[in-house]
Amino acid sequence: MATETTEAAGVCVDAGGSALGMPQLCADWMPNQIFWLVVTLIAIYFVMSRIALPRIAAVLAERSGTITNDIAAAEELKNKAAEAEEAYNKALADARTEAQKIVAEAKAEIQAELDVELKKADAQIAAKTAESEAAIAEIRAGAVQSVTEVAKDTAKELVAALGGNPDGAAVESAVEARMKG
């Protein structure tokens, strides 16, 4: 004979073993579901607090340290760059000052050489002028004498052409008197 086990159908299950409605909302099963919910939450809490969160905290601390170190290194490099720029500007100013000094020295040297050459040129011009004036004076003296000679000769020839007897001393004294003014 077959033994039949008859179980009383519960509130959430019918005689065939099928759930009536949603099993999650069955009040008879709520304490069991709450128990396993609490067990699961405690297990997740311990896993998170003992394993995951310390690793995340370590990664965040490492990143924070790296960022802090990078910022400090960047600040140091910025200060070095500012110092290098100051040194560059100072060297540039010194070079400009030195260049101006060299230019001033070169100008003074060129001016001194120019002054010496100008004095030499002035001396040469003065010597040439003196020579020229002496030559002109000599030419004038020669010209005056030549004019006097020509005037004397012309006066003698005129007196002779007019039919007179030219007296050389009288013609010479008349020409010299006329030349003196």
Tens digit of each residue's pLDDT, the chain (181 residues) = 444 444 545 678 888 878 777 877 888 888 988 999 999 999 999 999 999 999 999 999 999 999 999 999 999 999 999 999 999 999 999 999 999 999 999 999 999 999 999 999 999 999 999 999 999 988 888 888 888 888 888 887 888 887 777 777 877 787 788 777 6
CA distance 77 to 84: 10
Q: At a CB cut-off of 8 Å and minimum separation 6, what does 13 contact?
A: 19, 20
- Domain assignment present for residue 41? The answer is yes
Phi, psi of 162, rounded to the nearest 5 degrees: -85, -5
In angstroms, the Cα distances linking 85 to 81, 88, 99 are 6, 5, 21
CA distance 46 to 132: 124
Range of the domain at 50: 29-180
- Domain assignment present for residue 4? The answer is no
- Domain assignment present for residue 22? The answer is no
Q: What is the pLDDT of residue 5?
A: 44
- Domain assignment present for residue 11? The answer is no
| Span 145-169, pLDDT tens digits | 888 888 888 887 888 887 777 777 8
- Domain assignment present for residue 170? The answer is yes
- Domain assignment present for residue 16? The answer is no
CA distance 137 to 131: 10
Domain count, the chain: 1
- Domain assignment present for residue 105? The answer is yes
Q: What is the pLDDT of residue 181?
A: 67
Q: What is the pLDDT of residue 178?
A: 79
DSSP 52: I
- Domain assignment present for residue 77? The answer is yes
